[in-house]
Amino acid sequence: MKNKGLMTTVIVILLFLGATLVYQLGMSRGNDQAATTATTSEKADKTVGILQYVSHEALDAITNGIKEGLKESGYTEGDNLTIEFQNGQADQSKLATMSQQLLNKNADVLVGVATPAAQALANVTQDVPIVLGAVTDPVGANLVADMDEPGGNITGVSDKAPVAAQIKLATELMPDAKSVGILYSSTEDNSKYQVAEAEAAAQDNGLTTKKYAVPSSNEIAQTVQVMAQEVDFIYIPLDNTIANAMQTVVGEANKTKTPIITSVDTMVEQGGLATVGQDQFTIGVETGKMVAAILDGTSEPATTSIYTFSDGETIINEEQAAFLGITIPDSIKADATMVNSDDATTSSSAE
């Protein structure tokens, strides 16, 4: 009987300990869930307004990168983040209207993808934080007072390209080239800034230069036809108007097998010969992370330096080089990223 009583006591104790353990585990899970909920609530109800200047592969990649940078920082669209997106399609009047619309959405942070979009946002508010997504010359565009100490409600990421390295690469790929034509839009401040750099770099490398400014996309095809007869290769700075018409540029240049050196990776993939620069998606990711820091309250535009990239990657369109009859030196090929044209560009190349 004593053994039976002892056994009963042991069973009761074990049941009690088991129930206690289950209770503690439940409390622990509850606390974990509460902590997760608290973390989510800290990042909840945030709205980011994105104004993109125009649709083309480079700017689209930047916008996608912004979303990824926000996600990596704990802000996911549809969960704890609302993104209000507008695309001006290169229409200045639309940019102004859309900027006001985004401001009226009570966005916590506004993002301008490309210089004209950022300028439009800056015109409607000096209070709401604005982050620049790919603005080549923020000071020259009158968006910030200083690259290190912006001083107002604007900071962001510069996509300033290593122009000198791009021209140098061109001379290495085309050692017999004597002249370069610079194709750019006369209406974009960011392009004009780089044209001067390209002229200086070309002179340093023994090249003569000729500038070809187009007021709109309607003149691009005819301008490229003229360039192909007058220069050995074409150089395109960071320019949204030209980027938006890249297939037209490639189609006309390929008729005379005139090489194109670009400033962004996406334009190489579309039929440009080569560039030295940053991946556009990466530029967007850095922009998104900067937006998240402002949303978190860990940084303020006035004291946050403009983010600039210290180096660039060599990107070469191997298929286009073969089409142009250009042999890529092994010394360059060893360290370069090799890409090919997309199907649409390949078709135009064959015409």
pLDDT tens readout for residues 214-267: 998 999 999 999 999 999 999 999 999 999 999 999 999 999 999 999 999 999
**Are 222 and 169 within 8 A, CB to CB?**
no
- pLDDT at position 279 is 86
Q: Which residues of the chain have pLDDT under 70?
A: 1-42, 44, 310, 342-351
Q: What is the pLDDT of residue 192?
A: 79
Query: For position 8, what pLDDT does the model report?
Result: 55
Among the listed residues 125, 126, 124, 151, the one whose alpha carbon sits nearest the alpha carbon of residue 138: 151
What is each CA distance from 103 to 35, 108, 155, 346, 349, in whole angstroms?
Answer: 33, 9, 17, 42, 44
Give, in degrees to the nearest 5, the angle at Cα 125 between 156 and 77: 55
CB atoms within 10 A of CB 3: 7
pLDDT at 23: 47
Name the region of 262 (left: φ>0; alpha: ψ -120 to 50; beta: rest): beta
Structure confidence at residue 16 (pLDDT): 54
Cβ-Cβ contacts under 8 Å for 91 (sequence gap 6 or more)? none
Report the pLDDT value the prediction gives residue 165, as an integer from 0 to 100: 94
108-132 tens-digit pLDDT: 999 999 999 999 999 999 999 999 9
